[in-house]
Amino acid sequence: MSATIRINYREALRQGLREALLRDERVFLMGEDVGRYGGSYAVSKGLLEEFGEERIRDAPLSESAFVGAGIGAALNGMRPIVEVMTVNFSLLALDQIMNNAATLRHMSGGQLSVPVVIRMTTGAGRQLAAQHSHSLEGWYAHIPGLRIVTPATLEDARGMLFTALQDPDPVLIFEHASLLNVEGEIAAEPRAVDIDYAAVRREGTDITLITYGGSLLKAMEAAVKLAELGVSAEVIDLRTLRPLDDATIVASVSKTRHALIVDEGWKSGGLSAEIMARIVEQAFYELDAPPGRICGAEVPIPYAKHLEDAAIPQIDGIVAAARDLVK
Amino acid sequence: MNINRERALGYLREMIRVRRFEEKCAEAYSAGKIRGFLHLYIGEEAVACGVLPELSRDDAVLATYREHGHALLRGMPARSIMAEMYGKQEGCCRGHGGSMHLFDASLRFFGGNAIVAGGLPVAVGFGLADRMRRTTRITACFFGEGAVAEGEFHESANLASLWKLPVLFLCENNLYAMGTALDRSEADTDLCEKARSYRMTAASVDGMDVLAVAEAARAGIDYVRGGKGPYFLELKTYRFRAHSMFDPELYRSKAEVEEWKHRCPIEAFKLRAQKGGLIQDADIAAIEADTAREIEDALAFAEAGTLEPVENLTHDVYAREQRVAKAGAS
């Protein structure tokens, strides 16, 4: 048996960063307060002392410039990791991400490669209100040319970064704020993880819960409660939102004949709508009931705890929706 | 004139090449051969012709959507550029980019950005990579004065200066951001002052005088390559043609345009070089004939070019089109 360690999500992210910095001297971390402050969510704490100011680079509050600089440095031979404090702030850099990072390969007829990794915190659950709490990864997943990954487990939090850095194209990593303190046991030795496939995190026969990121743990707990109610739920962790792993989704739904999507993002024009469309396109006749979804309420995320809780998917809501769906 | 005959011929040849090339582009546009947007550099040739020969092969060049001249001067074949504008797969970007998006990675020409100021943060990143790798390369970033109104200019100027990056900021001030005059968009029209406010060394030069441009570019390049940090050079120039082929030019007077045309960089240079005895009428005729041949050849090449098969439409969105094999999967 290989040795395991007890670790939380934040520490797993830090180990992933450290590993990447150790393995490739072209890698550097750049962003707001990644150095002296130790990262706004303390993910990069201690890295400045170990790797120095050149490679753990504090940037001014200029999202467009430092994300663009990451793109330029990637075009010019480096492997930058750019940290944007939260997904809401990334909108200030959306032009660079969309008009440069995502388009340059195709627009140049295949001449240019932009191997940049952009990490950001996403999601609600910390009472940070409507300018720090949204889940916009589904928006980013709309854009051809980007790869969108969402580590939901400790292994993925540690391993996805290094795989992303090997990718010749821009990869955006969305780290859910509510996961940062989640603890668990994982292999002591870092292992390579893929960023191509969805994972079946729990097997079941009656319904497939399709989710990712911050909602995975909720879906897993809902599956436990559903089991007590006699409903066997399979849980798919999408892991990569673009490109979506249709095959894993369709295989599972074809088995369970019921699908419930859990997504903290908004419904309208959202990722859940896309997944549902694909299920309907590819597995319509396998279904015993219309697919369902539990999503973020269509409001700016509010501050007050009870309202914030009501605005995003919760375990009881998932359980109730799943029960209704398989009835 | 403080240059020899060879250099005088070189400047004249390059300025005429850019001018004639674009005149043919306009014709091809009117004939429906080139579509989309077409932004001509006519009138501004001395800027690119003065700057680009001063850069080395290893340096990186970023430009805007008005970049046909920069691409030609960087060494991209007229054929490759014309075929791109014709939307043919023999074009530099296989017809994916068109007039506004010319690229040639082998020449380190990272060209054609059609978002005003969109190339500036990227140029800062090029400079950052060169600095981190301790190279002596620099990055030359062209942009119009309209970009100065964008936040990206200010963020990039600050970042480049804060980190002392080897970036040469080349502001082609042709007085109009599309149709909006500089004094109608900037509270302070002194662009160098804005750069200096970020503690960047800045200078301004007559962009209609190719020799003055070359000298100013040399000073900027030496400064940047010497590791002193970024440098801002304003090149005062004027666009003789409309912003794009769709522009009825309601925002400026014909008299103003005519006045600037009297300062045509090519005619002015010709006159000086002839007065100085460096160039004869026969030289000019020879340059015109060579240029005409080159452009006719480019047009014929573009005309004969082929279309990328539609089956390839989605190629090159990603480097790897397929998922990697699942670990442990049979």
B315 with A80: Cβ contact below 8 A: no
Q: Flag whether B318 is in a domain.
A: no
Active site residue A228: no
Q: Which of A78, A104, A108, A166 to mutate to test the interface with B (most CBs of B within 10 A)?
A: A108
Closest CA to B78 of B35, B27, B29, B17: B17
B159:A65 CB<8 A: yes
User: A234-268 pLDDT, tens per residue?
Assistant: 999 999 999 999 999 999 999 999 999 999 999 99
Residue B265, C-beta contacts closer than 8 angstroms, at least 6 positions apart = B15, B43, B44, B45, B46, B49, B207, B208, B209, B210
Report, as an integer, the average pLDDT of B184-208: 97
When pLDDT is averaged across residues B139-157 and rounded to a whole number, the result is 97
| Neighbour tally for A91: CB within 10 Å | 17
DSSP SS3 for B308 = coil
Q: What domain range is B108 assigned to?
A: 5-312
H/E segment holding residue B234:
strand B231-236
Write the residue in B133, B155, B316 that is nearest to A64 by C-beta: B155
Mean pLDDT of B125-144: 97
Query: What digits encode the pLDDT tens for the residues A26-43?
Result: 999 999 999 999 998 899
Q: Which of A56, A107, A114, A147 best probes binding to B when mutated, by most B CB atoms within 10 angstroms?
A: A107
Task: For B164, list phi and psi in degrees, rounded to 5.
Answer: 50, 55
The predicted structure's pLDDT at residue B247: 86
pLDDT digit string (tens) for A113-141? 999 999 999 999 999 999 999 999 999 99
Is the predicted pLDDT of residue B327 greater than 70, yes or no? no
d(CA B214, CA B51): 5
- List of chain A residues with pLDDT < 70: 1
What would the two tokens of residue A114 be?
Answer: 């932009």
Q: How far is residue A96 from each of residues A64, A101, B119, measured CA to CA in Å?
A: 6, 6, 9
Q: How far apart are CA A191 and CA A63, in angstroms?
A: 32
Q: What is the CATH number of the domain that holds B217?
A: 3.40.50.970
| CA–CA min distance B252, chain A (Å) | 31
Residue B317 lies in a domain: no
Strand residues in chain A grouped as ranges (E): 4-8, 27-31, 56-58, 79-86, 117-122, 147-149, 171-176, 183-187, 199-202, 207-211, 233-237, 240-242, 259-266, 292-296
Tokens 């390839």 — which residue? B312
φ/ψ bin of B175: left (φ > 0), alpha (ψ from -120 to 50), beta (otherwise): left
Residues of chain A with CATH 3.40.50.970: 4-187
Q: Is residue B319 part of a domain?
A: no
pLDDT, residue A209, reads: 98
DSSP code of A301? Answer: P
Is the predicted pLDDT of residue B208 greater than 90, yes or no?
yes
Instruction: For residue B19, give both structure tokens.
Output: 């001018």
Q: What angle do CA B303, B305, B307 make, to 5 degrees?
A: 120
Residue with tokens 């890698």: A27
- Encoded tokens for B128: 């950052």
How far apart (Å, rounded) are the C-alpha atoms in residues A123 and A176? 5
Q: Percent of chain B, pLDDT > 70?
A: 98
Who among B122, B162, B319 is closest to A169 (CB)?
A: B319
Q: What is the pTM of this model?
A: 0.96
Helices (H) and strands (E) counted in chain A, each on its own, are: 12, 14
**pLDDT tens readout for residues B165-187:** 999 999 999 999 999 999 999 99
For residue A5, the distance in angstroms to the closest alpha carbon of chain B comes to 23
Question: Token match 């969305």: residue?
Answer: A174
Q: Which of A11, A32, A63, A264 is catalytic?
A: A63
Contacts of A113 in chain B (CB under 8 A): 319
What is the per-residue pLDDT for B16? Answer: 98
Please check whether residue B170 is in contact with residue B143, taking contact to mean a CB–CB distance below 8 angstroms: yes
Q: Is residue B62 part of a domain?
A: yes
Q: How confident is the model at residue B329 (pLDDT cuts 50, 70, 90)?
A: very low
Number of structural domains in chain B: 1
Return the pLDDT at B32: 96
In angstroms, what CA-CA distances link A165 with A20, A72, A232?
Answer: 8, 15, 37
Residue-level pLDDT at B330: 37
Residue in chain B closest to A193 (alpha carbons) equals B327
A132 annotated active-site: yes
- Can you give the C-alpha Rg of chain B in angstroms? 21
Q: State the CATH class of domain A4-187.
A: alpha beta
d(CA B84, CA B146): 26
- If you average pLDDT over every residue of chain B, what do you get? 95
- Alpha-carbon distance of A119 to A81, in angstroms, equals 7
Nearest to A76 by CA among A118, A104, A50, A99: A104
Which helix H or strand E contains A299, and what residues bound it?
Answer: none
**In this predicted model, what pLDDT tens digit does every residue of B216-265 receive, in sequence order?**
999 999 999 999 999 999 999 999 999 888 888 999 999 999 999 999 99
What CATH number does the domain located at A199-326 have?
A: 3.40.50.920
Burial class (CB in 10 A: 0-12, 13-18, 19+), A120: buried
Residue A267, token pair as written in the block: 């419904």
pLDDT at B278 over 50: yes
Q: What is the rounded distance in angstroms from the CA atom of residue B71 to the CA atom of residue A111?
A: 15
SS3 content of chain A, % helix, strand, coil (to 5): 40, 20, 35
Confidence (pLDDT) at A1: 56
Give the Cα separation of B4 and B52 in Å (integer).
Answer: 19
C-alpha A263/C-alpha A234 separation (Å) is 16
